[in-house]
Amino acid sequence: MEAMLFYLVALVSVISAFFVTKCRNPINSALCLVTTFLCLAVFYVMLQAPFMAAIQIMVYAGAIMVLIIFVIMLLNIGSVGKSRYTHGVAGAIVLSFLSFIVAAKFIAGGTVSKAVGDISAEVVQSYGHTELIGKAMFTEFLLPFEIASILLLVAIVGAVILSKRKV
Amino acid sequence: MISVYHYMILSAILFAIGSFGVLTRKNMIVIFMCIELMLNSVNLTFIALSRHLGNMDGQIFVFFVMTVAAAEAAVGLALIIAFYRNKESIEVDDFRLLKW
Amino acid sequence: MYSNLWLIPFFPLVGSIINGLFGKKIKNEKVIGGIATIAIFLSFLVSCQNFFRLLGDTEKVHQQILGSWMSIGILNVEWGFLLDPLSALMIMVVTGVGSLIHLYSIGYMHGETGFYRFFSYLNLFCFSMLMLVLGNNALVMFIGWEGVGLCSYLLIGYYFEKKSAGDAAKKAFVVNRIGDFGFLCGLFTLFWALGSKGVWTLNFVEISENAHLLQSGGLLVTVVTLCFFLGATGKSAQIPLYTWLPDAMEGPTPVSALIHAATMVTAGIYMIARMNILFAMSPTTMMVIAFVGAATALFAASIGFAQNDIKRVLAYSTVSQLGFMFMAMGVGAFTAGIFHLMTHAFFKACLFLGSGSVIHGMHHAYHHAHLHDDPQDMRNMGGLRKFMPITWITYLLSCLAIAGMPFFAGFFSKDEILWWTFASTRGSYLVWIIGTIAACMTAFYMFRSLYMTFHGEQRTDVRAKDHIPESPWVITLPLIILAGLATIAGFIGIPHAIDVAHVGNGIASFLDPVFGQAQQLHNIGIPEDLAHNVGLEIGLMCMSVVIGLIGIGGAYYMYMKKQELPAKFTGAFPGLHKAVFNKWYIDELYDFLFVNPCKKIGTFLWKGFDVCVVDGVVNGIGWVVKGLASGLRYTQSGFLHNYAMIMVVGVVVIVGYYIFG
């Protein structure tokens, strides 16, 4: 049952990912990407990380994709007549395939050790995923968390300055 | 039974597709989306391994990757808009001033 | 005791600095000339004090060490001064004649542009010369040695806007460099040779004390002394390096008098005298010196016959007289050589200053008449006796002195030299014969210049004729003093044979502490049987007087009595006259042998080696880099995908290397 679900969702995600690179119209690409993100959210749930699935949908599918589509609409980019690919398609296919081979070999060749942490499925069940994330975030990773907030602030200011017509 | 390897292979496939998109597409926004795809494939690896190892750190990492991705989206899209204002185009081939 | 030695070179240095830095601002010629003259006169006074103190002192060698100059391992060099009879005599000559010539220059250089420059150089020259003379080690001497060369260069090129003056200055400098090369080689060899015996020193006193460590007559000593002699030929204008001195007459006349007659050119003599112990150890070198000196004396005198430029005659006369001094050094007559150096300084300075006075007058007359004739050409002179009586008298006295007429200064010194060449253990009859002939020729051409300048009918352009003035007192006073010295200075060195009043040979006994040791050790001197042969000595003396008179008489006959004779003579031997007039084509020979090949090699190295090879390598590297860059820059396509592709390739290769490798 779980395997069936995995293969189905994996198939959908790969196809939709492929169409991200394939579609002539950026809007279609964006919609395909949203599909991929949703598939990934499903995987997160299957991996017992419901909080991550939630923010995957909210941040990626919700915020970032909306922003991208917003820009596409704003710039009024339709499908273009001329080729959407550069001249190096063949090379890019070979390279991508090679990088996949390298990664696969790495995965196949490596041995992943048994569980070393104490966060088992039962623990997640009993405490709740959000609580675990929250505890880690506000204790152990408090400083990176704060730095991330500064990063976001800087990004906002940068975006405003870049997109203003006259500074 | 679905093991961590399945997830990692899937992640590798998604990453390769993303890199193919980055290497071939001319449209800057599509390239941008492909980069997001690559980031997500890595996120999947993080969460799969986090689950497998019984450790929350990987998921925290994904959290920060999302933060950076959000920041990147904001700045990157702002850049695209600025480019578009100058050139009336977002095709990367039109931006090749930095050459010989 | 002798702690104020340092003041002697110090005063001229200060004078030079003041005039050099502020002379342009001061402007007033009297102040500038006054500063320079007072500076050198003060050092003359200090020299006098030290000289007379040394005269009455039993201890004859004194050193004053100011401090350490450099101390590098085994080499210890001090800023030190050495006062012994030799250097005492030299500082008297340098500062004494120097003071007179400074005074003279105030009058002579009146109205010249760069007046302050001249006096600054002149003082700097005196400083360098005094360092040369007083230095207690070879390196301090070398500072002076180079310093006088530099000042000579600057002063010859004083009229630097004239090309001939610039060329002459360069020639003097380059020829002197060849000599300096020899000097340095000698110095290094000596330092090493003594050092290998355990005495690392450059101090003259220590060199003298330790010279016995070297093998007498050995190859090493001969090489060292020959190198030093090469240095001396450069500075003192001997064959083969004499050619710069006649050209040096491009400088102002006081410069010719001070530097190129009285002091600097005697530096070579002084250096040999200073190292007399080493030279005494090598009979070979002494013989070479004697013959080179004799050859120079004869050769330069022969050129002096046919020169019409009054200063050139004097220049060749200087070369010839320096040849006499070298002859003296070569036969071991160190005392006589230094004695002749001193008397020569007096009468030759007087002759040069006299010629300067004449030139000054002629220049004035031509200037007055708006003519552009050559004021130095003796063919335009004649009969100047009436216009310049003081100049004439002093010139005449000096001519008598240089011709070796009895009881003038030159008589004593020259006869002493000739006597030694004849009688000394290191002497040689051939040298004596050459010396005697040269003495005759000296008398001839000096009186030729005297007659052509001051006697006979006046050949000056009629328009300028009556405007020739006698020079002012600043010019005539030094002339009178120097002529007086040229007349009486010989009496400090009365030879034994005619010493009827038994006053003794003052200069010989004075200089004995310097030379006596070497002469005794190496058996240099007049053999016993000849030393008491008074008749022979007096006979030779009379003979040289007669020979001098023959020279004078010949000049009188040819240039006063039968004035058509020189022209006839020239007509009879046109080739000979042409050769002599053109200085035996020595300059042309040197050009052919050395200068042009050097130029050719230089041109080859420039156009062949430098342009092709050196520039080729440098430019080639540039070309290669440029070519590579212009090829590689096409990798910067500006296409984002190319960069991304290369980046991915890099990632795949690196990660793949770790996974598959």
Listed by start position, the domains of chain B span: 4-91
Chain B nearest-CA residue for C651:
B19
Q: Quickly state the pLDDT bin for C181 (edges 50, 70, 90).
A: very high
Half-sphere exposure of C359 (CA within 13 A, CB side): 23
Q: Is B44 on the interface with A (CB under 8 A)?
A: yes
The set of chains that have 3 or more CB pairs under 8 A with C is A, B
Asked if C327 contacts C354 with a C-beta cutoff of 8 angstroms, the reply is: no
Mean pLDDT calculated for residue range C41-51: 93
Decide if pLDDT at C592 tops 70. Answer: yes
Which residues of chain C lie closer than 8 angstroms to A109, CB-CB?
659
Rg (CA), chain C: 30
3-state secondary structure of C71: strand
Look up residue C649 and give its two tokens. 């390739």
Give CA C430 to chain center in angstroms. 26
Chains near A, with 3+ CB pairs < 8 A?
B, C
Q: Which of B19, B22, B97 sits opposite C638 (nearest CB)?
A: B97
Model confidence at A81, pLDDT cuts 50, 70, 90, reads low
Greater confidence (A144 vs A108) lies with: A144
Mean pLDDT of A112-118: 73
CB contact under 8 A, B19 and C648: yes
Give the model's confidence band at B32: pLDDT under 50 very low, under 70 low, under 90 confident, else very high. Answer: very high
Flag whether pLDDT at C313 surpasses 70.
Answer: yes
CA angle (C188 as vertex; C182, C189 as ends), nearest 5: 85
Across residues C337-351, what is the average pLDDT?
92
Asked whether C49 and C57 are in contact (CB, 8 A), the reply is no
Question: Would the pLDDT of C499 be above 80?
Answer: no
| pLDDT surpasses 90 at B47 | yes
For residues C102-121, give the mean pLDDT: 90
- Tell me which chain C residues have a C-beta less than 8 angstroms from the C-beta of A98: 652, 656
Q: In whole numbers, what is the pLDDT of chain A averaged over residues?
A: 88
- Percent of chain A past pLDDT 90, that is, above it, reads 47
Enumerate the residues of chain B whose CB falls inside 8 A of the CB of residue C629.
Answer: none
The number of angstroms, rounded, from the C-alpha of C613 to the middle of its chain's C-alpha atoms is 42
CA B53/CA C455 separation, integer angstroms: 127
SS3 category, C371: coil
Averaged pLDDT of chain C = 89
Which among C639, C645, C652 is the nearest to A102, CB-wise?
C652
The beta-carbon neighbor of A29 closest among B18, B33, B62 is B33
Please give the pLDDT value at position B92: 84
For tokens 């590579």, the residue is C628
Distance (Å, whole) CA C247 – CA C231: 19
Give Cβ neighbours of residue C419 (< 8 Å, ≥ 6 apart). C336, C495, C526, C537, C540, C541
Are the beta carbons of C225 and C183 closer than 8 angstroms?
A: no
CB C283 within 8 A of CB C217: yes
Query: Once rounded to an integer, what is the mean pLDDT over residues A113-133?
Result: 80
Q: Cβ separation of B100 and C641 shorter than 8 Å?
A: no
Cβ contact A100–B15 (<8 Å): yes
Stretch C490-508: mean pLDDT, rounded? 80
Mean pLDDT of C57-65: 87
Q: Which pLDDT band holds residue C533 (cuts at 50, 70, 90)? A: confident
Q: What is the percentage of chain B residues whose pLDDT exceeds 70?
A: 99
Assign C250 a pLDDT band (cuts: 50, 70, 90): confident
What pLDDT is stored for residue B66 in this prediction? 92
User: Quick one: average pLDDT of C385-412?
Assistant: 90
When pLDDT is averaged across residues C92-102 and rounded to a whole number, the result is 92
Residue of C637, C639, C640, C641 best to disrupt the A interface, most CBs of A under 10 A = C641
At residue C263, the pLDDT reads: 87
Q: Does position B80 have pLDDT exceeding 80, yes or no?
A: yes
Q: How confident is the model at residue C100 (pLDDT cuts 50, 70, 90)?
A: very high
Mean pLDDT to the nearest integer, B72-88: 88
Give yes or no for residue C70 having a pLDDT over 90.
no
High-pLDDT (> 70) share of chain C, %: 100
The bridge status of strand C62-72 relative to strand C75-83 is: antiparallel
The pLDDT score that the predictor gives to residue C562 is: 81
Residue C649 pLDDT > 80 = yes
pTM: 0.71
Mean pLDDT of C348-369: 89
Average pLDDT (C168-182) is 91
Give the gap in angstroms from C-alpha A102 to the nearest C-alpha of chain C.
6
Strand partners, C80: C65
Nearest-5° angle of CA C368, CA C370, CA C371? Answer: 115
Q: Report whether C53 contacts C70 (CB < 8 A).
A: no
Averaged pLDDT, B63-74 = 92
Q: What is the CATH number of domain B4-91?
A: 1.10.287.3510
Residue A36: predicted pLDDT? 94
Q: Residue C332's closest CA among C176, C454, C479, C515?
A: C515
Nearest to C639 among B19, B24, B93 (CB): B93
Residue at token pair 């890099």? C650
Q: Looking at residue A80, what is its pLDDT?
A: 65
Asked whether the beta carbons of residue A99 and residue C648 sit closer than 8 angstroms, the reply is: yes
User: What are the beta bridge partners of residue C65?
Assistant: C80
Q: Which amino acid is at C607?
A: K
> Going from the N-terminus, what domains does chain A have, and what CATH number goes with each?
1-77 (1.20.120.1200), 120-167 (no CATH)
Cβ-in-10-Å burial (0-12, 13-18, 19+) of C39 comes to: buried
**Which candidate, C99, C84, C79, places its Cα nearest to that of C51?**
C84
Give the tens place of pLDDT for each residue, A32-80. Answer: 999 999 999 999 999 988 899 999 999 888 889 998 998 888 888 776 6
The mean pLDDT of C151-180, rounded to a whole number, is 91
Higher per-residue pLDDT: A36 or C369: A36
HSE value, Cβ hemisphere, 13 Å, CA-based, for C654:
6
Please give the pLDDT value at position C1: 63
In whole angstroms, what separates CA B40 from the centre of its chain?
6
DSSP lists the bridge partners of residue C75 as C72
Q: Residue B47: which of A18, A47, A95 has the nearest Cβ? A: A47
A115 pLDDT exceeds 80? no
pLDDT band at B36 (very low <50, low <70, confident <90, very high): very high
- Please tell me whether residue A115 adopts helix, strand or coil conformation: coil
Across the range C512-536, mean pLDDT stands at 84
- Which amino acid does the sequence have at C659? I
- Number of Cα atoms under 13 Å in the Cβ half of residue C325: 33
pLDDT at C172: 92
Where is average pLDDT lowest: C322-336, C560-574, C631-645? C560-574
Q: Rounded to an integer, what distance in angstroms lies between the CA atom of residue C136 and that of residue C125?
A: 19
Cis peptide before A144 (omega within 30 of 0): no
pLDDT band at residue C125 under the 50/70/90 scheme: very high
How much is the pLDDT for A167? 59
Whether residue A106 lies within 8 A of chain C, CB to CB, comes out as: yes
Cα–Cα distance for residue pair B98/B76, rounded to 1 Å: 19
